Homo-oligomer: A and B are copies of this chain.
Amino acid sequence: MLAELSIIPLGRGIQLSPDLGQILKTIDESGLRYRLTPSGTCIEGEWDEVMALVKRCHQQMRVVSTHVMTTVRIEDELGADNKLNDNIASVERSAGRQLKH
């Protein structure tokens, strides 16, 4: 399945990238496939391994903030195990050749 993870700590500065950089290291070390996007991080894997990583990231952020908002958006499709690449490819294919940008 695909999970898009976004974590926002309260009571921190105006910039989140220092905190999010530490979370990214945890994701990177997990060994699960992932892709950073401008609005979150997409992670691919089985439910239990993805959710264990989500918990680890959330708890890590709770060390620097006592109040954390975490959003997980899951897309789970039977037989699909490469949504990290296939989702973009299939939408672009459906859009056809006319894309300008």
Contacts and interface: CB of A to CB of B under 8 A. Distances in A.
Interface of A: 2, 4, 6, 8, 10-18, 20-22, 24-25, 28-29, 33-40, 42, 47, 51, 55, 58, 62, 65-79, 83-85, 87-88, 90-96, 98-101
- Tallying the copies of this chain within the complex gives 4
A91 B98 CA distance: 33
Given A11-B13, A24-B94, A38-B85, 19 more contacts: A10-B13, A11-B12, A17-B91, A21-B91, A21-B96, A22-B95, A24-B95, A24-B99, A25-B95, A28-B101, A39-B87, A66-B79, A67-B77, A67-B78, A68-B75, A68-B77, A70-B73, A70-B76, A71-B73
B39 A98 contact: no
Given A28-B95, A39-B73, A11 B14 contact: yes
In terms of DSSP, what is the predominant structure of the interface of chain A? mixed
B74 A66 contact: no
